[in-house]
């Protein structure tokens, strides 16, 4: 076996886990307002178990729905009505031989942030929370109530079929708040300088859980090994905490950070600007000081790296969230030597942004997520057809693959010499290397499926009918918008696409017109290459394109490279020396050797619609309908192609 350490079973509290790959907690909002699960939740978690993970954790199971619930859409472990849905969920996981895990959580001072929530919120001390709400010091009777709530929740989890609980003691939630030495200044046994006092509430909860569930039921504890910011505690405090709890748990899951500091989000959930496995070092350091098995997490998806972590003794278990959203079959593919088929996470954080904004997960490069039941049980085509896909970009490749996998005969035409579309321009950008992996994987899949690929082939209304297709899918994409600014055709002006592909054309000082994702990411890339970059934006805010979680990581990079953004600023004229702008009614001049426009895309709608009569069935998708993002292109391509021949 190539990855013998990764796939060696591990025993925790007498329970056997079939390998060392654990699906870490992800908290779906597939719940009703009363905290009970929607029927779709088991499909999401069960799909990870089907893919070969040894355990699958259900995130944010709230132990106290009165004082610990962070938003209205959370699983309530103290609600008897939750039993039926949770039992169905655990069955969807355990039937594949995986252990289903309940992450037991309490928001503490971060609780009750939703309409109609109780007014009172408790934390370790009286203070003002970062959102302005007043926190009350948790009195002794509420502490005792909380300890009992954890025990009751663990017992309920066991009765519902969960095989392990994960006690969340990190990321800024209740137990972490008590641990924080600067925040928890209590004078009683629950706080102050001694680590024993600040860790006491966690220890007492673990003792109560063990008493409730018995000895043959694993307890995992998730901690922040370091808070990773100036003013926060460091790894030494994380080690000290691990020593306090190791006697009372079976696995210590070492994460980092705190949600109370926004700049830490892209560290806790590593952004694409950070290295693979960037947080493993914290787990490795904790492991040197405790005997309890350790789990590592943070930007993990490469089987070679996973094997090295276990083989070298840095950790005993590797945990992944986004990697098993991008590809739930990662474990099986690695175990059977099909690493080149793994759809590796691009760390774009589309999943997390959609979860917070829309209440459910999606994935930019895996259209199955959020559609698990459909994907498994969608009927086979009633009729197999000849399908012509026009355009070899992200949407076109996905449409061709899905149609071919469904059994159709597919021809894919691309007018340029390479598949990949406009995103090919970003393939040399260091922090986009997983995008390159994705495009190459799609190419390999197209080749394996035997799809007829015709490069340097433009499909026009005149020649479209010659392909003899039963169905045409137009995925022509979009082209950059060139703003009508005097001087836009000057020799010192280029598009963002050209700046990516030919960065040597960009002078020492550059001004980018447009603070959308394309503009700000390009600014970071050019700053990495040593350019001085400024951004001019007409609107009063950066446009995150709906992916606000990814933008948190971008903002860290903008600050790191001291990239200035001038908002509410209109470019009036481009000269050989820079850009004349208007801001607050006054003229402002930005010197520049190179001016780059990144003001949006124009959909090739007319070109696509011109093909409407090329076949009995005609479909349009992706940017040629309206410029959007990878997720929407992939999702519409997947669904469109899957529907062909259904009736």
Q: What are the tens digits of pLDDT across the range 7-61?
A: 999 999 999 999 999 999 998 777 777 778 888 899 999 999 999 999 999 999 9
Q: Which residues contact 294 (CB under 8 A, 6 or more apart)?
A: 251, 252, 253, 254, 283, 284, 286, 287, 315, 316, 317
Q: How far apart are CA 438 and CA 451, in angstroms?
A: 18
pLDDT reading at 514 higher than 90:
yes
Which range in 116-130, 198-212, 370-384, 625-639 is most confidently predicted, on average pLDDT?
198-212
pLDDT band, residue 357 (cuts 50/70/90)? confident
pLDDT band, residue 493 (cuts 50/70/90)? very high
User: Please, what sign has the CA dihedral across residues 454, 603, 432, 58?
Assistant: negative
Average pLDDT, rounded, for the chain: 95
Number of neighbours of residue 181 by Cβ within 10 angstroms: 15
pLDDT band, residue 145 (cuts 50/70/90)? very high
Pairing of strands 493-495, 586-591: unpaired
In this prediction, residues 377-401 reach a mean pLDDT of: 95
**Angle (nearest 5°) at CA 338 between 434 and 284:** 60
DSSP E strand boundaries for 78-131: 99-105, 122-123, 127-128
Residue in the structure block whose two tokens are 């918008």:
481
Supply 108's token pair. 């503490």
CA 194 to chain centre: 37
pLDDT band, residue 310 (cuts 50/70/90)? very high
pLDDT reading at 370 higher than 80:
yes
Q: Which residues pair with 473 in a beta bridge?
A: 389, 619
pLDDT for res 116 = 87
Query: What ranges do the domains of the chain cover?
Result: 10-374, 381-479+603-643, 482-599
CA-based nearest residue to 320, from 301, 334, 333, 348: 301
587-619 residue pLDDT tens = 999 999 999 999 999 999 999 999 999 999 999
Pairing of strands 586-591, 578-583: antiparallel
pLDDT reading at 182 higher than 90:
yes
Which H/E stretch holds residue 303?
A: helix 303-311
10-374 has which CATH code?
A: 3.20.20.70
pLDDT for res 377 = 84
In this prediction, residues 131-143 reach a mean pLDDT of: 95
Residue in the structure block whose two tokens are 């971060």:
110
Supply 115's token pair. 């309409």
Q: How far apart are CA 582 and CA 190, in angstroms?
A: 58
152: left (phi > 0), else alpha (psi -120 to 50), else beta?
alpha
In this prediction, residues 200-227 reach a mean pLDDT of: 98
pLDDT reading at 374 higher than 90:
no
Which H/E stretch holds residue 533?
A: strand 532-536
Answer for the pair 19, 331: CB distance below 8 angstroms, yes or no: yes
pLDDT above 90 covers a percentage of the chain that reads 90
Residue in the structure block whose two tokens are 């209205």:
72
In this prediction, residues 105-130 reach a mean pLDDT of: 93
pLDDT band, residue 259 (cuts 50/70/90)? confident
pLDDT reading at 1 higher than 90:
no
Alpha-carbon distances of 152 from 158, 159, 173, rounded to whole Å: 10, 11, 19
Architecture of domain 482-599: 3-Layer(bba) Sandwich (3.50)
Answer for the pair 358, 314: CB distance below 8 angstroms, yes or no: no
Which H/E stretch holds residue 473?
A: strand 471-474
Q: How far apart are CA 404 and CA 390, in angstroms?
A: 15
Q: How far apart are CA 604 and CA 622, in angstroms?
A: 10
pLDDT for res 647 = 86
pTM: 0.95
In this prediction, residues 388-417 reach a mean pLDDT of: 97
- The region of weakest confidence among 112-121, 206-215, 331-340, 494-503 is 112-121
**End-to-end CA, the chain:** 45
Q: How far apart are CA 523 and CA 561, in angstroms?
A: 9
pLDDT reading at 109 higher than 90:
yes
In this prediction, residues 338-349 reach a mean pLDDT of: 96
CATH class of the region 381-479+603-643:
alpha beta
pLDDT for res 83 = 94
In this prediction, residues 497-502 reach a mean pLDDT of: 96
pLDDT for res 228 = 94
Number of neighbours of residue 238 by Cβ within 10 angstroms: 26
Give buried/exposed letters for 466-499 (b at 16+ CB in 10 A, else e).
Answer: ebebbbbbbbbbbbbeeeebebeeeebbbbbbbb
Q: How far apart are CA 26 and CA 110, in angstroms?
A: 18
Give backbone dihedrals phi and psi of 320, rounded to 5 degrees, phi first: -140, 140
pLDDT band, residue 407 (cuts 50/70/90)? very high
Supply 191's token pair. 């706080």
At 374 the three-state DSSP class reads: helix
CA 169 to chain centre: 21
User: Please, what sign has the CA dihedral across residues 227, 233, 236, 242?
Assistant: negative
pLDDT for res 427 = 85
């Amino acid at each position: 076996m190539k990855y013998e350490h990764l796939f060696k079973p591990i025993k925790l509290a007498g329970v056997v886990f079939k390998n060392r790959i654990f699906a870490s907690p992800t908290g779906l909002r597939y719940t009703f307002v009363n905290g009970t699960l929607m029927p779709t939740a088991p499909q999401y978690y069960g799909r990870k178990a089907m893919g070969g993970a040894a355990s699958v954790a259900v995130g944010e199971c709230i132990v106290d729905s009165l004082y610990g619930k962070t938003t209205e859409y959370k699983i309530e472990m103290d609600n008897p009505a939750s039993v039926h849905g949770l039992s169905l969920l655990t069955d969807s996981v355990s039937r594949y031989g995986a252990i289903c895990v309940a992450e037991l959580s309490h928001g503490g001072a971060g609780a009750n942030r939703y309409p109609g929530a109780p007014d009172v919120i408790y934390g370790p001390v009286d203070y003002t929370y970062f959102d302005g709400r007043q926190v009350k010091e948790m009195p002794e009777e509420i502490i005792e109530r909380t300890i009992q709530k954890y025990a009751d929740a663990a017992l309920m989890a066991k009765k519902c079929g969960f095989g392990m609980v994960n006690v969340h003691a990190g990321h800024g939630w209740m137990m972490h708040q008590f641990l924080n030495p600067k925040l928890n200044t209590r004078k009683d046994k629950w706080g102050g300088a001694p680590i024993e006092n600040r860790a006491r509430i966690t220890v007492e909860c673990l003792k109560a859980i063990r008493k409730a569930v018995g000895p043959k039921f694993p307890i995992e504890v998730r901690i922040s090994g370091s808070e990773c910011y100036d003013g926060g505690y460091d790894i030494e405090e994380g080690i000290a905490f691990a020593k306090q709890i190791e006697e009372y748990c079976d696995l210590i899951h070492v994460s980092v950070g705190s949600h109370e500091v926004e700049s830490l989000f892209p560290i806790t959930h590593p952004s694409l600007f950070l290295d693979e496995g960037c947080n493993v070092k914290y787990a490795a350091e904790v492991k040197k000081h405790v005997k309890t098995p350790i789990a590592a997490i943070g930007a993990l998806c490469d089987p070679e790296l996973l094997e090295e972590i276990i083989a070298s003794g840095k950790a005993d278990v590797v945990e992944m969230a986004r990697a098993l959203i991008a590809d739930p079959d990662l474990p099986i593919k690695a175990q059977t030597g099909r690493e080149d088929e793994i759809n590796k996470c691009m760390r774009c954080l589309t999943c997390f942004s959609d979860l917070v904004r829309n209440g459910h997960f999606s994935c930019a490069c895996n259209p199955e997520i959020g559609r698990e039941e459909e994907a498994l049980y969608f009927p086979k085509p009633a009729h197999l057809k000849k399908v012509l896909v026009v355009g070899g970009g992200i949407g076109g490749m996905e449409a061709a693959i899905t149609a071919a996998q469904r059994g159709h005969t597919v021809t894919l035409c691309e007018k340029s010499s390479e598949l990949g579309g406009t995103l090919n321009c970003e393939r040399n950008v260091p922090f986009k290397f997983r995008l390159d992996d994705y495009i190459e994987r799609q190419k390999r899949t197209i080749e394996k499926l035997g799809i007829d690929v015709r490069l340097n082939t433009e499909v026009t209304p005149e020649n479209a009918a010659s392909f003899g297709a039963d169905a045409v899918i137009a995925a022509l994409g979009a082209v950059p918008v060139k703003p009508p600014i005097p001087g836009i055709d000057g020799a010192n002006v280029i598009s963002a696409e050209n700046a990516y592909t030919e960065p040597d054309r960009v002078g020492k000082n550059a001004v980018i017109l447009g603070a959308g994702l394309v503009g700000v990411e390009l600014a970071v890339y050019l700053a990495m290459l040593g350019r001085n970059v400024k951004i001019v934006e007409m609107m009063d805010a950066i446009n995150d394109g709906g992916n606000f979680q990814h933008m948190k990581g971008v903002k860290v990079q903008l600050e790191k490279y001291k990239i200035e953004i001038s908002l509410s600023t209109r470019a009036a004229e481009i000269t050989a020396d820079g850009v004349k702008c208007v801001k607050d009614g006054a003229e402002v001049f930005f010197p520049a050797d190179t001016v780059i426009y990144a003001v949006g895309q124009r959909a090739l709608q007319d070109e696509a619609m011109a093909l409407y009569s090329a076949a009995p069935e005609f479909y349009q998708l992706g940017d040629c309908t309206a410029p959007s993002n990878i997720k929407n292109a992939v999702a519409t391509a997947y669904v469109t192609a899957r529907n062909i021949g259904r009736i």
